[in-house]
Amino acid sequence: MAKKKPLRFAALIRVSTEKQEQQGESLRIQQADIARAVATLGGKIVEHYGGQEHATPGWEHAELDRLLKDARKKRRPFDAVMVQHPDRWSRDNVSSSTGLDLLFASGVQFYILTDRHDLSDPEHRLRLGFHALIGEYVAKTQTKKSITAKIERARRLDAPTSGNLPYGRIWDAKAEEWRIDPEKQAVIVEIAKRYVAGESMAELASEFSFSHPGLHKILTTRCGTEWTQRFTSRQLQIDEEVVCRIPRLLPPRTIQAIKRRLEANRTYAHGHLKYKYLLSRMIFCGHCKSAMSGQMTNDIRYYRHYGKRKNCIGTQVRADALEDVVLRHLFEDFGNPAAVQKAIEEAIPDREKMAEYLQRKERLGSELAKIDAGRERILDLIEKDAITDEQAERRLKAMKQKEAKLLEDVAKLDETLDGTPTPAAIKDAADTVAAAFRAHTKARWRFYRKVKHINRCIEDMTWEEQRALVQAVFAGKTAEGDRMGVYVYAMPGEKRRWRYSICGLLDAEGYFPLSDSQKEAFFQFGAAQRQRELIGVSHSPSPPRR
């Protein structure tokens, strides 16, 4: 009688988490139990499958897929599959049944240690299905409890419970509070400064070993005081976001400057200009807000309004004439510190409200000081055994809740006030901008008052210098969401006469907005010569209405 060949076993060893693989004994226990069971049956283990992989429903089980793939081979490497426990086969009832059907069709036996399960026996299949169903229930319940606990902890403590930590921040688990990583903050401060100054984000990302999308995300959404954690589970229909408070890496004005630079890269600073139009991508119809574009006709440059609508300017404006008066406008406003200061002050909304916010912040500071003093008094009472631990705990807990609310209010006020310049800051910015502008013109300020010298200053500037000037002024958007730039309005009942307004900002470390400054220009073109005359000068906080 021929000797029976020993069964060749495939050992499937699985755990649910990486922690179990690295720190627990689950894998070693499963390996030992399966090895003893195979020895008892007189077989041999020819292949191991498994290791660390997720066992919750919906996850890819690469090793289990590899086992089933090998089972379908004509020369399969094993005769039977062995697991330590039924839920080590699968915690998904559908996947369990599908896999068992494939093993049965391939003639592969199924063992749970020394106990062979006949895959053609309905009772055995019922038992295996029951274990898979219970395992699926347990896995989903544990997952739901885990996600719920993470969401609650994130809401209660602003703690990181999902995903990677925001760049430049450290979570102190013992103190349950956030701290800033000074070295990483210094990196972001340098990158932000250089990016706002005009360097490429892609080149900065390469220099500081970031991915380009990663650096973009950090600069635009991860430098402020809010960090959003998202918790999702398709099987449990969970999709929640928790916004946590974290220490900021950059001041609000710098973040706004970064976003304005990004906006500029998508608009007027994007791509190369085929023809030189000084106000290209920065000139709009004042009535419908649509962009005007350059057009060359008979070797003359125009800004044309395409697809005109009712009440629009409905025409084209000669480019060199408009550019000339706009540059004069910028020279007059930016070269004069008093004009710069006035334009900033007009753009700041409700300064009385800002003063009220400052007073409120002082009151909140006094309340916080009282809480600190009260906490010290309670600690003294505990030392003197004047109150019980339970009484002290209740009072300290109430004080902590009140303190958290006050700190939240102070943080909100800081964000509001941080974007509002003080009178001293406005004056300093006005002086700095005017001085820089005068230096940029390559001419002495005392000659500016005469029109002929303003003309000379403009003519001495290269087109690139003029373009850099208008780009610095017309970066970003207005409070209403309109792009900053030159807005052209038709003068009702008058031909070849337009009113225009400029709305812009100062990009000189303060990023202060400018009020809309309006002027009117009259253009008359003759066959032999062109006459230009600037008529009427006025300043007001809003553009002319239709």
pLDDT 10s digits, 439-473? 555 444 444 444 445 555 666 667 777 777 777 67
Q: Both tokens of residue 427?
A: 């004056």
Helix (H, G, I), strand (E, B) or coil at 485: strand
- Average pLDDT for the chain: 76
- Mean pLDDT (whole number) for 356-360: 78
Give the pLDDT score at 510.
39
For residue 37, pLDDT over 90 is answered with yes
Confidence of residue 492 (pLDDT cuts 50, 70, 90): confident
pLDDT of the residue at 113: 92
- Beta-carbon contacts of 330 under 8 Å, excluding residues fewer than 6 positions away, are 469, 470, 473, 502
- The ranges assigned to domains in the chain are 8-142, 158-250, 283-348+425-539, 351-420
pLDDT at 447: 46
CA distance 63 to 88: 12
Asked whether residue 191 carries a pLDDT value surpassing 90, the answer given is yes
Range name among 88-102, 161-175, 313-327, 438-452 with the lowest pLDDT average: 438-452
Report whether 258 contacts 219 (CB < 8 A).
yes
CB 46 within 8 A of CB 9: yes
- In the predicted model, is pLDDT for residue 532 greater than 50? no
Does the domain at 8-142 match CATH 3.40.50.300? Answer given as no
Task: Give the dihedral sign, CA 457/458/463/468.
Answer: positive
pTM of the model: 0.52
User: Looking at per-residue confidence, does 442 or 354 come out higher?
Assistant: 354
Residue range 253-266: mean pLDDT, rounded: 76
Q: Would you state the pLDDT for residue 449?
A: 47
| pLDDT exceeds 60 at position 309 | yes
Please list the residues that pair with 100 across neighbouring strands. none
Angle between helices 62-71 and 93-105 (to 10 degrees): 20
Sign of CA dihedral 354, 358, 359, 360: positive
* Comparison of pLDDT for 69 and 20, the residue scoring more: 69
| Beta carbons of 199 and 193 less than 8 angstroms apart | no
Segment 378-399 shows an average pLDDT of: 80
- Reference 500, options 355, 371, 321, 359; nearest CA is 321
Cβ burial, residue 261 (10 Å; 0-12/13-18/19+): buried
Query: What is the distance between the alpha carbons of residues 71 and 106, in angstroms, rounded to a whole number?
Result: 6
For tokens 């300017």, the residue is 313
pLDDT over 90 (residue 190) = yes
pLDDT > 90 in the chain, percent: 15
pLDDT of residue 539: 35
Select, from the ranges 60-64, 200-204, 318-322, the one with the highest average predicted confidence (pLDDT). Answer: 200-204
